Amino acid sequence: MSAAASIFAPDYKRIPYWWEACAPPERDDAPPARIDVAIIGAGYAGTCCALTLAEAGASAVVFEAGALGQGASTRSGGQVSGGVNVQKKALTSSAEDASQQQARMAARLRDAAASMTYIEHLIERHGIDCGWHKTGRLTAMWIPEHYESWKARLAPLNEHTQARARMLTREMLAKEVGSPLYHGAALIERGGHLHPAQLHGGMLDAAIGAGARFLSHAAVEAIERKTGGYLLKTAKGEFFATTVVIATNGHTGSLTPDLKRRVLSIASHMIATEELPPDLARSILPTNRAVSESRRVVNHYRLSPDGKRLVFGGRARFIPASEDTTARLLHQAMLRRFPQLEGTKITHSWGGNVAMTFDSMPHIGGGDGLYYALGCNGSGVAMMSYLGHSLGRKILSGSTEPVNAFDRGAMPRHPLYFGNTWFLFAVGSWYQFQDAREQRRASRRQP
């Protein structure tokens, strides 16, 4: 066995670790020929939209191209902080003055907090056993300047989201994360981590129990506008729906070419380690918090729900690569942060697509019977669930008024982007270079 191959455990698998406990199921409910609402995509957004509609008595049918939830919803890192990342990018529209921008950001932060409330209530109301650890989430600072920038964000964040956020110095962080790499952190106390596949499975059970129907391996091949609704041509026949919801997120494609131009599908990658000795696991994350980083090309990690493994992720490559290649790259990144894991094997490696938008914001919208919920921007457990629920409420109300702060006009697009992310390698490589250069400079300044 080569040195490179030695990182892999004998039982190594190229599937999400989460699927060991809750694999995406298959289902073939027999829907009627005429449907109130057809939902395309059975991830968090589509499933929660179906749940809200079905609980109100609407006929909701969800079409999924593969097994139910096999996309990002059961592949994510499972970190949850209520979408407070919407604060990362301030609005810069020349049509708004500073006070208008602040008001819009405050509204978005309040709805980010509402997404956290929604997911907490959903778990409690339906008794979803998903390893929910409300232990907080850390944003670890890559360079000292990031620490100072984050300090300015705390006041509005705490005012509008109940995040209970506070700054941790480098010395304080040493008690939270067993790595000397960072220059302090921001702690979001209203956050944590969970088992994303078990969460999705619980949502699915709740939606089915309420009367929603699901079809796996039923890719929608065409949507045609007809009088009074839409004709859906699928791998399992044709169906007529009064209303259609697009909840395809990172898998948005040629079925909806206009939306494809507004979403950048970017691959994210993850690994799970073999079970760690208890002392070693505690040395890495003694307070069992979820961790993300302030760098441009983010790495993130947390312990598994049973506290025995490290689950480590990030954007390992900006071009298509095998699970083995991305596992090696992530293993190297993991050891840079935690040299004490030298010799630890990898049992699982996988990837999934996240949906980025040009304004770094999630969106719901549409009209005339065709709606969408898109744009997790890499932080979608609570947010996409909430957006699906919100879109369900909007459809039920029949109103054209915005249902929340993420329902504000069309998603932006770039005139030169047509859905092909060929430029990601150059952009990603430049970002990685900048991250490395800043970190070297910060290290030289560190006493």
Read off the tokens for 110.
């309040």
Q: How many domains does the chain have?
A: 1
**Distance, CA of 224 to chain centre:** 30
Would you state the pLDDT for residue 446?
A: 63
How high is the pLDDT of residue 297? 84
Tokens of 377: 């921007």
Burial class (CB in 10 A: 0-12, 13-18, 19+), 396: middle
Place of tokens 């709606």: 371
As a whole number of angstroms, the distance between CA 276 and CA 282 comes to: 9
User: CATH number for the domain including 65?
Assistant: 3.50.50.60
Q: How many CB atoms lie within 10 A of CB 99?
A: 8
Q: Nearest Cα to 116, choosing from 410, 383, 424, 396?
A: 383
Half-sphere exposure of 293 (CA within 13 A, CB side): 23
Q: Tell me, what's the pLDDT at 430?
A: 78
Range(s) of the domain holding residue 250: 5-445
Alpha helices in 345-411 (DSSP H): 381-397
What are the per-10-residue average pLDDT scores of the chain (447 residues)?
A: 70 98 95 94 98 97 97 95 68 60 89 95 98 96 92 91 93 96 95 98 98 97 96 95 96 93 93 98 97 91 98 88 95 97 97 91 94 90 96 95 91 87 78 78 68
pLDDT at position 1 is 38
pLDDT of residue 422: 76
pLDDT of residue 3: 44
Alpha helices in 56-143 (DSSP H): 98-125
Q: Give me the pLDDT at residue 254, please.
A: 92
* pLDDT value, residue 296: 82
Instruction: Please name the residue that has the structure tokens 């110095």.
Output: 169
